[in-house]
Amino acid sequence: MPANRFNNFTDYGIGIGLRATHYDHILTRKPVVDWFEIISENFMIDGGRPLHILDQILEQYKVVQHGVSMYFGSAGRPNREHLRRLKDLVKRTGTPWVSDHLCWGSVDGRYTHDLLPMPYTFEAAKLTAHKIREVRDFLEVPVAVENVSSYAEYHVSEMTEWEFLNEVVERADCGILLDVNNIYVSSRNHNFDPLTYITSVPADRVAQIHIAGHSKFQKYILDTHDHPVIDPVWKLYDRAIQRAGHTATLLEWDDSIPTFQEVHDEALKANRFLAATQLGVAV
Partner 1 sequence: MKLAALQKAVARAVMQPLTRNERMRRVGPRGEKMHAYAARYIKPNDRLSSFERLEIYNRQYWFRVLGGLAEDFPGLRAILGGQRFESMCKAYLTECPSRSFTLRNLGAHLEAWLRKNPSWMRDRCELALDMVRLEWADIEAFDGEAKPPLRSEDLHEMDVPNLKLSLQPYVQLLELHYPVDDLLLEVKHGDDTSDFASNAVQERRKRSKVRAVAKLKPAQIFLAVHRLDYSVYFRRIEPEEFALLSALRRGRTIERAIEMAFRRSSVLPADRAAFVQHSFQTWAALGWFCRPDENKRGGKPREKRA
Contacts for 10 with CB less than 8 Å, ≥ 6 apart:
3, 96, 97, 248
By beta-carbon proximity to partner 1, the closer residue of 153 and 204 is: 153
| Contact residue for partner 1 among 21, 55, 130, 154 (CB under 8 A) | 154
Cβ closer to partner 1: 153 or 173? 153
Closer to partner 1 at the Cβ: 112 or 261? Answer: 112
Asked if 50 touches partner 1 (CB under 8 A), the answer is yes
Query: Judged by CB under 8 A, does residue 99 bind partner 1?
Result: no
Strand, coil or helix: 161: helix
Tell me if 121 sits within 8 A of 156, measured CB to CB.
yes
**Interatomic CA distance for residues 201 and 179, integer angstroms:** 12
| Strand pairing category for 110-116 and 104-107 | antiparallel
- Residue from 121, 160, 199, 215 touching partner 1 (CB under 8 A): that is 121
Residue 189 is a binding residue for partner 1 (CB under 8 A):
yes
Beta carbons of 248 and 13 less than 8 angstroms apart:
yes
CA distance 35 to 49: 21
The binder of partner 1 chosen from 48, 59, 193, 283 (CB under 8 A)? 48
| Binding region for partner 1 (CB under 8 A) | 41, 44-52, 69-70, 74-76, 79, 81-82, 104, 106-114, 116, 119, 121, 123-124, 127, 151-156, 189-191, 219-220, 222
